[in-house]
């Protein structure tokens, strides 16, 4: 049975599809602070029968900032919701109320290099704006 978890991040990427072209964007809080995604995890077995822990980030509809880029958004919890998300005694209705788009006014997004598409490339330059971000 899946259990709830927090997945910490400072940002995430989404790709805007324009015909065959995919343009990557970095999405983060305007404050630059860390945040937590709402996640679930469970223990399974790999093909050799060894235990393996897996997790998934829950998604919801995109907010106004992300809609031009992608149709979904990972569920980003408000700081006061993080402890409740992990609590085993919270009513399902309360937990479901957390699965909503994060306020767009608290976020920003900017285009980054397509080099981010390669897992073999891990450089600080990958988070630099490809173009100057538009004022928000």
The yes-or-no verdict on residue 134 having pLDDT over 80 is: no
Long-range contacts of range 91-99, CB-CB < 8 Å, 24 or more positions apart?
95/4, 98/38, 99/38, 99/58, 99/60, 99/75
Please state the rounded mean pLDDT for residues 95-122.
93
SS3 107: strand
The enclosing H or E element of 118 equals: none
Q: Which domains does the chain have, with CATH numbers?
A: 3-127 (3.90.1680.10)
Q: How far is CA 119 from the centre of its chain?
A: 18
Please state the rounded mean pLDDT for residues 13-33.
94
The yes-or-no verdict on residue 122 having pLDDT over 90 is: no
Given a contact cutoff of 8 angstroms between Cβ atoms, the answer to whether 71 and 61 are in contact is yes
SS3 41: strand
The yes-or-no verdict on residue 131 having pLDDT over 80 is: no
The yes-or-no verdict on residue 9 having pLDDT over 90 is: yes
Given a contact cutoff of 8 angstroms between Cβ atoms, the answer to whether 6 and 85 are in contact is yes
* CA proximity to 9, closest of 74, 88, 61: 74
């Amino acid at each position: 049975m899946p259990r709830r978890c927090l997945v910490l991040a400072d940002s995430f990427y989404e790709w805007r599809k324009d015909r065959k072209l995919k343009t990557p964007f970095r999405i983060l809080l305007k404050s630059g602070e860390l945040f937590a995604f709402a996640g679930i995890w469970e223990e399974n077995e790999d093909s050799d029968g060894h235990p393996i822990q897996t997790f998934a980030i829950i998604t919801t509809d995109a907010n106004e900032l992300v809609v031009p880029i992608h149709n979904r958004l990972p569920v980003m919890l408000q700081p006061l919701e993080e402890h409740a998300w992990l609590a085993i005694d919270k009513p399902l209705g309360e937990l479901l109320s957390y699965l909503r788009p994060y306020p767009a006014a608290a976020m920003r997004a900017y285009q980054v290099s397509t080099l981010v598409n390669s897992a073999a490339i891990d450089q600080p330059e990958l988070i630099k704006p490809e173009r100057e971000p538009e004022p928000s």
